[in-house]
Amino acid sequence: MKRVLTLMLVVASVAAIAVTAGGATAASAKKQDTNLSGAGSSFVFPLVSKWIPALGSAYGYNVSYAPTGSGAGIAAVTARTVDFGASDAPLTADQAAACKGCVQVPWALSATSIAYNLPGLNCILRLTGPILADMYLGNVTVWDDSRIKQINPKCTLPSTKITPVYRSGNSGTSYNVTDYLSAVSPTWKSKLGVGQSVAWPAGVGASGSSGVAATLKKTEGAIGYVDVAYALANKIRFASIQNASGKFATPGLRGIDAAAASLPKKLTGDGAFSIVNPPKGNPLAYPISTFTYVIVPTSSSKAADLRKMVYWAVTRGQTFGAPLLFQKLPLQVQAFAFKQIKQINS
C-alpha cells in the first residue's frame, strides 16, 4: 500500500512539473495573448466558432465561447463571470438595469426555421403565421386540417396529430418566434405575448436547440423551431412561411436580406430591432428573421480588447456568415453598432 502511494506521489509530481514547464514555455512563446470569454446564444455559436480562429490570428486573442443559451448568457455577463454575453433577445428593462452599465450591440443577422417531422411527405411544407400560431395555441391539432391542406395542394398530408415543440426555459429563439406570432396573431398577442419564455398552452418543452431537435426526431407529427444554421447542419427539414406579400419564403440569405430591408434608414433607441413579419413590398422576405446581440460591460479591465473584438465582428466578421446562413448586417445597423461600440471604454 505504502509503495503504491509513493509511486502515485512520484507520478503526480512528475506530471505537475511537466504541466508547469509546458505552461511556462507556452506563455513565453505568445506573451501578448488576451483571453476573452463569452457565453450565451447557441444561435450565433456556429458563426462565433468561425470567428475564434480568425480573431486569434488577427489580434492574438484567445476567445472562448460557451453556447449556454441566451438567458444563461445574460445571467453570466450580469454576474461578470464572462467578458461578454450573447443573446438573440434584446435585454428587458429589468435585465438592462441588473447588468449595470452594459451595452448591447447587434452583431449578427439570421433566421429561425420552422422544422417538422412528417416522414414520407412528398413536398416542402408551406405554412402561414396564423396557422402556426393556432398550432402552438392548440387550436389546429391534426396535419390534414383543412387550412393546412388549402395552402399545400400538392402535398398528401397525413392525419397524424400535431405535437408543437417549444424551448423550455429562457431562449432567444423563443423570443424570435413569439415576436413573430404576436405580429401575425392578435389572439397570440393578447394571450401570450412576446418573451424568452411564455406560458405555452400546448405541446412539449425541450431544452436547447439540440433538445428540440431530439424531440422532433423522435416524435412523428412534431413541429418545432430551431435557428436555420442548426437545422442545416443537422439536416432537419423546415417549412417555407408566408410573408406579408402573400409569398412563401424560405430562411435563405436572400429571404433574410429582404426582411432586413424593411428597417428604417435611421436607427435610434437602445439597439433592439425587430424585423419579424416585414410589411408588403418584399416578396422574398422571410418573416422570422432576427438580429442577435452581444452584450458587453461598458467598463472593465478588458474594455479596449472587447471594443476591438466587437468592432471586428461587425465589420470583417460579417464576411464569414454566408455559408452558415448569417446575412451581413445592413449598413444602418452597422453604423448603429459603431455608435454602441463607442460606449465601451476602459
Partner 1 sequence: MSTLTPDPAAPAAIERRGIRLGDVLFKGVAAVAAVGVAAILALLTYKIFALAWPAMQEFGLSFIWSQDWNPTTNVYGALVFIYGTIVTSFIALLLATPLSIAIALFLTELAPKRLASPIATMVELLAAIPSVVLGLWGILVFGPWIAQHLEPWLQSWFGFLPIFSGDPSQAGVLPAALVLTIMIIPITSAICRELFSRVPRDLTDGSLALGSTRWEAIRRVAIPYAAPGISAAVLLGLGRAFGEAIAVTQVIGSGNQINRSLFPPGDTLASRIASTYQGAGSNIEVQSLLYLGAILLVISLITNVSAQVIVNKFQKARRMSTG
Contact residues for partner 1 (CB under 8 A)?
A: 68-75, 87, 92-95, 98, 161, 163, 168-170, 192-201, 203-207, 211, 214-215, 218-219
Closer CB to partner 1, residue 213 or residue 259? 213
Q: Report the distance separating Cα 186 and Cα 309, nearest Å.
A: 41
Q: Report the distance separating Cα 320 and Cα 243, nearest Å.
A: 27
Residue 205 Cβ, how far from partner 1 at the closest point, in Å? Answer: 3
Q: What is the dihedral of CA 115, 209, 323, 84, to 10 degrees?
A: 150
Looking at the DSSP bridge assignments, the partners of residue 222 are: 163
Residue 103 Cβ, how far from partner 1 at the closest point, in Å? Answer: 18
Closer CB to partner 1, residue 87 or residue 282? 87
Residue 253 Cβ, how far from partner 1 at the closest point, in Å? Answer: 29
Q: Cell for 217?
A: 426526431
Residue 162 Cβ, how far from partner 1 at the closest point, in Å? Answer: 11
Residue 128 Cβ, how far from partner 1 at the closest point, in Å? Answer: 23
By C-alpha distance, which of 294, 324, 299 is closest to 310?
294
Amino acid symbol at 330: P
Q: Do residues 104 and 144 lie in contact, with contact meaning Cβ atoms separated by under 8 Å?
A: no
Closer CB to partner 1, residue 56 or residue 211? 211
Residue 146 Cβ, how far from partner 1 at the closest point, in Å? Answer: 21
Q: Report the distance separating Cα 245 and Cα 259, nearest Å.
A: 11
